[in-house]
A and B are shown apart, each in its own frame.
Chain A
Amino acid sequence: MSESVKRSNPLMWFLDPLTSTASQSDPEYRYSWSKIAWMLPLAIGILGLVVTAIGWATNSEQFYYSYLIGWAFCLSITIGAYFFVVIQHLTKARWSVVIRRIPEALIWSFPLLAVLSIPILLGMHDLYHWTHHDLFDPASANYDPVIAGKEAYLNTPFFLARFAFYFLSWTWISYKLYTLSVRQDNDPHPEIAPKQRKYAAIGLALGAITTAFAAFDILMSLDPHWFSTIFGIYFFAGSFMIIMAVMALVSMMLQRKGMLTGLIKVDHYQDLGKFLFGFVVFWAYIGFSQYMLIWYGNLPEETVFYRHRLEHGWGTMSAILLIGHFIIPFIVLVGRWAKRNLALFGFMCIYMLVMHWFDFYWIVAPVLHEHVAMSIYDVTGVIGLFGVYSAAFMYRLSRHALVPQRDPRLHKSLSFTNT
């Protein structure tokens, strides 16, 4: 660490591993919004969590599922940010430098998410059917030969070890990428960019494996009979799609408050829009690939996932997901015009956030409910968690320059035009 950038105290470390460098940032890149930017989401978030806590007291099983939906939603945004930062470094991308601080601040959400995962780990017995010991006991009436065959993988100690490994590896790479970038702001050194690339390369390889297995463990194993090897990519596709919407929305908010005026241009938004559109299509492509192979194979342990989601009223939800998460955004975002019209594009970003949450609802909620049901806690859970999550993010963003101000490729990003 250089002189000007210091480690923060251990308690603050969860929010930001470095002391604030906002006073050292260039005036045009300085954060200038009031504290309301993080206090308001924090207040909404705490309110949401308090309401959700009522669910924990009255209907704890529903609470755990609702909480998992909200938590997975926040996790996927963070994973999307992680892959975005990693890919920008590896490709030496120029266009995105001016918006890169946003995902850089987002990736330091991993420690917070690890803390917020405690209720999920406490609720494992309710969430994950495979944690029931009698399933593995041939003498028991509940013996399940299919799940028993997966005992080597689906057991609590191994699950917890994997869970810890995911978060340690994500936090490690995020720490390196985040601190290197902030260090560069205040103490530019030609060695920083190659170092960022090095950790990005490790992070990409590590992230590919951990993201896929995290998706298997956290979401797919809710349905322990079912398996789909493409599920990790499905999770990634949604994550990488939503990070584009989040970056665009945060940029619009900052610009509305008079920050980064003229620096983030409509050309940058158009590129985010292209990515958003591309990964909406990619999500559908992967989702359909999963569905079609299962339809063709017609094996009971695979079709169970879709069969359940097409029966007892869940079919309506599946239709909403297909139309709302693919067809509508496809038609709206396909044109160049929609990506350059910030009012429409901003609306579509918010819309995609809702649909992305709906995607997790569609994966998680049918495991609990035989018949279609949406609990109030599904909604308050995500409001609570996302509120706290975005409060921590906005607070972190306010502590440093809003742009990697000494990045060697920043001037290329500022003069970027889209033809």
Chain B
Amino acid sequence: MLNQLTEVKASMSIYEAQEEEVYGILAEFSNPGTLLHAAQSVREAGYSHFDTHSPFPIHGMDKAMGLGNSIIGWITLCGGMAGLALATWMQWWMGKVDYAMNISGKPFFAVEPSIPVMFELTVLLAALATVAGMFALNGLPRPYNPLFFSTEFLRVTDDAFFLHVAASDEQFESGTTTQMLQDLGALHIETIRDTGEED
């Protein structure tokens, strides 16, 4: 159970620090192309707890990282269905039960005039569910991230490209992982420690 929770958190790129508070290894790459290639190689080497960080979205990165299709579509569908059901019930209950009123001889409840309401609520709840689901799947909001201990990492919103391999990965071994990232052409590599407090 605890292991499953770790995996779910890892899918949101929330990793747990291992012995000696090692959170993982952060490697900087020179451009989007090398980062893409590095991500693919890291995945092919069997790692699953790793993430890439770049100032802008990189085409093909999800494929290189082996992320597969997001389940966000199903969350959207559930939100939409909930909106549809809620609107149908609301139109019927308000028009026919709670405040029945004769308006130019129209039925108290009819599908025709309810469809715009059903449509709007479907869209509204689908959209809200999508945004909420996106946040949840990404583990956001996340004010604390051990990667922020790295001063180099601050450039990630500007002009730097990073790959982070988490220590919680089964394959993780400080020496070999560092060697692999070096072979992939990392500009520089640092070990991130999660001390839980600012230094």
Contact = CB atoms under 8 A, between A and B. Distances in A.
Q: Do chains A and B stick together as partners?
A: yes
B7 interface: no
Nearest to B57: A419
20 contacts: A288-B115, A291-B112, A292-B112, A292-B113, A292-B115, A292-B116, A295-B112, A295-B113, A296-B106, A296-B112, A296-B113, A298-B104, A335-B73, A336-B69, A336-B73, A417-B59, A417-B60, A419-B59, A419-B60, A419-B62
User: Interface residues of A: mostly helix, strand, loop or mixed?
Assistant: helix
A298 B69 CA distance: 48
Interface of A: 288, 291-292, 295-296, 298, 335-336, 417, 419
Q: Which of B60, B73, B112 has the most CB of A within 10 A?
A: B112
A80 B77 CA distance: 31
Contacts of B73: 335-336
B195 to A, nearest CB: 37
Interface in B57-78: 59-60, 62, 69, 73
Is the interface on chain B under 10, 10 to 19, 20 to 34, or 35 or more residues?
10 to 19
Contacts of B113: 292, 295-296
Given A292-B112, A296-B113, 10 more contacts: A288-B115, A291-B112, A292-B113, A292-B115, A296-B106, A296-B112, A336-B73, A417-B59, A419-B60, A419-B62
B65 to A, nearest CB: 12
A292 B106 CA distance: 13
A298 B73 CA distance: 39
A298 B60 CA distance: 54
A288 B112 CA distance: 9
Interface in B99-142: 104, 106, 112-113, 115-116
Contacts of A417: 59-60
A414 B59 CA distance: 15
B37 to A, nearest CB: 17
A296 B111 CA distance: 12
Listed from nearest, the 4 A-B pairs whose CB atoms lie closest are: A295-B112, A292-B112, A419-B59, A296-B113
A298 B115 CA distance: 17
Nearest to A298: B104
A291 B116 CA distance: 12
Contacts of B116: 292
Contacts of A335: 73
A338 to B, nearest CB: 12
A295 B113 CA distance: 8
Interface in B19-58: none
A224 to B, nearest CB: 26
